[in-house]
Amino acid sequence: MRIGELARRAGTSTRTLRYYETHGLVRSGRSANGYRVYDEAELRVVREIRSLLAIGFGLDDIRPFVACLRAGNDSGDVCPDSVAVLRRKLAEVDDYLDRLGDVRRRLHDQLAHAIAQREETCLRTRGPAD
């Protein structure tokens, strides 16, 4: 299939496909007239790339998944290198969530302190209630 058809079927642009190709993720051949032509298997590769990009993977992280598909697997996440990337990404997300939890606790404490300070200031300004 030509680049326009692959782009349409994968839900992306021809420019994006050329970008993936430049980075070695997508493979094309050339027709007699010089047009890029893609094997049907490249559609699965592009869908895998787009799926992984959508959840925050970088192009280098995606390489093992593409290699796994090219090795004939039905899924790009069943190979050891892909599993290693998934484990690393999960550890990164867990670390990020831990740090966000720390930030949340500090913000909560700061807010509670600010509210207490404000109430104390209001009581001093108004005096005790009668």
Residue 123: its pLDDT value, please?
A: 79
> What does the pLDDT average to over 46-55?
97
- One DSSP character per residue, 20-70 reads HHHTTSS--EE-TTS-EE--THHHHHHHHHHHHHHTT--HHHHHHHHHHHH
Distance, CA of 19 to chain centre: 17
Q: Token match 């994968």: residue?
A: 10
Confidence at residue 128, expressed as pLDDT on a 0 to 100 scale: 60
Q: How far is CA 21 from CA 43, 80, 98, in A?
A: 13, 24, 37
pLDDT digits 0-9 by tens, 78-125: 999 999 999 999 999 999 999 999 999 999 999 999 999 988 888 787
Give the pLDDT of residue 127: 62
Residue 38: predicted pLDDT = 96
Instruction: Fill in the amino acid letter for 33.
Output: N
